[in-house]
């Protein structure tokens, strides 16, 4: 199957509402084009039929494609779709887990206590490191765009369905680096089962884009471990210097 045939194949199944294709373990799985993203689950080959990004994809087009989404169960309890916030030309993209109550009410990511801490971390670290940077200069989004009930961790199928739009957002922006906030975002983007403690402190890659993992701001608000806060600031400092130096 050539790349164009694969692209049409994925578009067909997407258009008829099929999001996931299960392939027998022994079957050969074709490698997707850069515009199609696949994640393999350890229990067998599960190829995610994520949306094939159109040429010259934009954040505005992605938001239009989402519409008033009813693709998964999360839509039943949401007030607002929380798409993303920041510069379409951002050199650094932050990806969190999902909206909380404040985000659900305002339609913007990271505006509650955790969001205020993230803003302080971005702007305060940049200022101390001599980097001219404000929150509005980066881009911030979440793995899922509707608030999970009681702020529970998103289910795998919810992350997979919503993930197609997160991936398109990243590809449309093409940042120099990604910062995954917390284990849920890290696992979704890297396809790993390892937690933040094992993943942080070193660079990984999402496709061809460098990715660093650090603690979610909400964890830092709860944690009594001062080392975690120091490590999070070190991670952010590393990301800022890599991107902006």
Q: How confident is the model at residue 42 (pLDDT cuts 50, 70, 90)?
A: very low
The reported pLDDT for the residue numbered 225 is 86
Digit-coded pLDDT (tens) for 48-70: 444 456 778 999 999 999 999 99
Confidence check: pLDDT of 39 > 80: no
Q: How confident is residue 221, by pLDDT bands cut at 50, 70 and 90?
A: very high
Q: Using the structure block, give the residue that is written with the tokens 């650090």.
A: 214
Domains (ranges, CATH) in the chain?
A: 3-48 (no CATH), 59-244 (3.40.470.10)
Evaluate if residue 6 carries a pLDDT over 90.
no
3-state per-residue secondary structure call for 101-147: HHHHHHCCCCCCHHHHHHHHHHHHHHHHCCCCCCHHHCEEEECCCCC
Distance CA 76, CA 73 (A): 6
82 contacts 104 by C-beta, under 8 angstroms: yes
Helix or strand run (H / E) with residue 48: strand 46-48
Which tens digit of pLDDT belongs to each residue from 152-181? 999 999 999 999 999 999 999 999 999 999
Structure tokens at 19: 């999001």
């Amino acid at each position: 199957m050539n790349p164009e045939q694969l692209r049409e194949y994925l578009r067909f199944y997407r258009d008829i509402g099929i999001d996931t294709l299960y392939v027998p373990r022994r079957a050969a799985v074709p490698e997707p084009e850069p515009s199609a993203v696949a994640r393999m689950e350890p229990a067998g080959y599960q190829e995610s039929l994520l949306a094939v990004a159109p040429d010259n994809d934009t954040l505005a087009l992605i938001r239009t494609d989402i519409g008033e989404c009813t693709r998964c169960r999360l839509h039943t309890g949401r007030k607002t779709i929380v798409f993303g916030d920041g510069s379409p030309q951002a050199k650094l993209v932050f990806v969190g887990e999902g909206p909380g109550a404040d985000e659900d009410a305002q339609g913007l990511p990271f505006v509650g206590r955790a969001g205020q801490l993230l803003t302080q971390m971005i702007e305060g670290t940049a200022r101390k490191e001599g980097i001219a940077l404000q929150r509005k200069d980066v881009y911030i989004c979440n793995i899922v765009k509707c608030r999970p009930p009681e702020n529970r961790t998103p289910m795998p199928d919810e992350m997979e369905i919503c993930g197609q739009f997160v991936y398109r957002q990243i590809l449309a922006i093409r940042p120099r680096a990604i910062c995954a906030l917390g284990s849920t975002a890290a696992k979704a983007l890297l396809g790993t089962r390892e937690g933040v403690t094992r993943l942080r402190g070193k660079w990984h890659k999402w496709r061809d884009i460098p990715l660093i993992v650090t603690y979610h701001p909400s964890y830092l608000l709860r944690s009594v471990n001062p080392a975690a806060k120091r490590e999070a600031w070190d991670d952010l400092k590393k990301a800022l210097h890599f991107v902006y130096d």
